[in-house]
Amino acid sequence: MSFRYSVILGFMGQLQDRFSVYHEQRTLAQKMALVREITGVTGVEMVFPTELSDVALVKDLLAQHDLTLSAVNVNIKGDPRWHQGALTARDRETRREAVRWLMRGMDIAAELGNGLVTVCPLADGHDYPFEVNYSAAWRNFVDGVREAADHRPDVRLSLEYKPSEPRARVVLGNASKCLYACMDVDRPNVGVTLDMGHALYAGESCAESVALIADAGRLFLVHGNDNYRNWDWDLIPGVVNFLDLVESTFYLLKTGYSGWVAFDVFPARLDPVRTMRSSLRMYQLVLDLIDRVGAEALAKSLEEEDVPATLELLMSQLEQHNIPA
């Protein structure tokens, strides 16, 4: 078994952090052409509004490059209008505008056929004690998500959590709060985007987060990346936390996840095509390892809570293929 793989399209063009600019500017067509060089990647996740201002053009480009829109990523964090919050802003009209952006993203998702919107509400949170009324902010957030969800019951709205950045504390800081938000919104088309790097940064076991979210029927999208658990570095999956990737992939298979794995990898100083190829290869390597060990054998040792036996299953296969455990 494998997954459907996509990349966040913006990472194929010019990138910028707080200090530097990387790579040349590229058009949507040029970025999609680069994606087509990554064998096995069949989808792109695109940002609204910057990359989806001309839906007819995007539709033509997707068809021309034989790509699927895996998700519409609604950006209610980058524009100056969201500096004081988006869905949790004190100003009612600002909150209304954030909901309108979500609705428009959902309309585009329906028009282009993918039926999935993801949003990471990083402008919503706080920096200081006594800065916000937590109860009011949470209620505004839930009400806004519910209103957007009711706009298009045929489109899934996926909430992505992260502990911080750019706010010191983001309203959806971990898997538990994200699941609680889904239950509070109480709409079947609202779920969770599990960004592996965000889960690591939040101090979570990625596999446990997969299990809890999937068991609740809310795992809508996975973002694949890695970090050192101290910041959201968006590294190639598995380069630091390899066993976390193995375990979380096992649980994706165990829970029957059939959605997209989108590579949210920031190739600042690397070639973007080669970086995404390495990301895909890492998942293929992990899937091959699980296949060779045997999912049933792993599940049996897991049920018996026999850690040495589980490690032996994995290490024996790694040793046979000359991969240091």
Does the pLDDT of residue 325 top 60, yes or no? no
* Distance, CA of 317 to CA of 143 (rounded, Å): 50
Q: Which of 114, 133, 145 is nearest to 220 (CA)?
A: 114
Output the average pLDDT for the chain.
96
Burial-class residue 246 by CB neighbours within 10 Å (0-12, 13-18, 19+).
buried
* Distance, CA of 211 to CA of 304 (rounded, Å): 18
Q: What is the mean pLDDT of residues 268-279?
A: 98
Does the pLDDT of residue 323 top 60, yes or no? no
Would you place residue 2 in the very low, low, confident or very high pLDDT band (cuts 50, 70, 90)?
confident
* Distance, CA of 28 to CA of 48 (rounded, Å): 13
Strand boundaries in the chain, DSSP class E: 4-8, 15-16, 21-22, 41-48, 68-74, 116-119, 125-126, 156-160, 169-170, 190-195, 219-224, 260-263
- What's phi and psi for 223, nearest 5 deg? -105, 125
Q: What is the mean pLDDT of residues 105-130?
A: 97
The pLDDT assigned to 15 comes to 95
More confident position, 321 or 239: 239
Q: pLDDT for 208-222, tens place per residue? A: 999 999 999 999 999
* Distance, CA of 243 to CA of 293 (rounded, Å): 14
Q: What is the CA radius of gyration of the chain?
A: 20
Peptide bond into 324 cis (omega under 30): no
Yes or no: say if 235 and 226 are a contact pair by the CB < 8 Å rule. yes
Strand pairing report for 41-48 and 4-8 = parallel
Does the pLDDT of residue 290 top 80, yes or no? yes
Lowest-pLDDT range, 199-203, 285-289, 307-311, 320-324?
320-324
Would you place residue 319 in the very low, low, confident or very high pLDDT band (cuts 50, 70, 90)?
confident
Cβ-based neighbour number of residue 215 at 10 Å: 12
> Residue 117 pairs with which residues in a beta bridge?
72, 157
Query: What are the structural domains, with CATH classification, of the chain?
Result: 4-291 (3.20.20.150), 294-325 (no CATH)
Q: Which of 122, 98, 106, 262 is nearest to 190 (CA)?
A: 106
3-state SS assignment for residue 114: coil
The pLDDT assigned to 322 comes to 60
Percent residues over pLDDT 70 in the chain: 98
Amino acid at 124: D
Does the pLDDT of residue 98 top 80, yes or no? yes
Q: Which of 158, 118, 123, 156 is nearest to 137 (CA)?
A: 123
Q: Which residue has the tokens 């950045």?
A: 165
Cβ-based neighbour number of residue 296 at 10 Å: 8
Burial-class residue 237 by CB neighbours within 10 Å (0-12, 13-18, 19+).
buried
Q: What is the mean pLDDT of residues 108-117?
A: 96
Q: What is the mean pLDDT of residues 92-116?
A: 97
Q: What is the mean pLDDT of residues 226-231?
A: 98
* Distance, CA of 274 to CA of 53 (rounded, Å): 29
The pLDDT assigned to 244 comes to 97
Q: pLDDT for 4-55, tens place per residue? A: 999 999 999 999 998 999 999 999 999 999 999 999 999 999 999 999 999 9
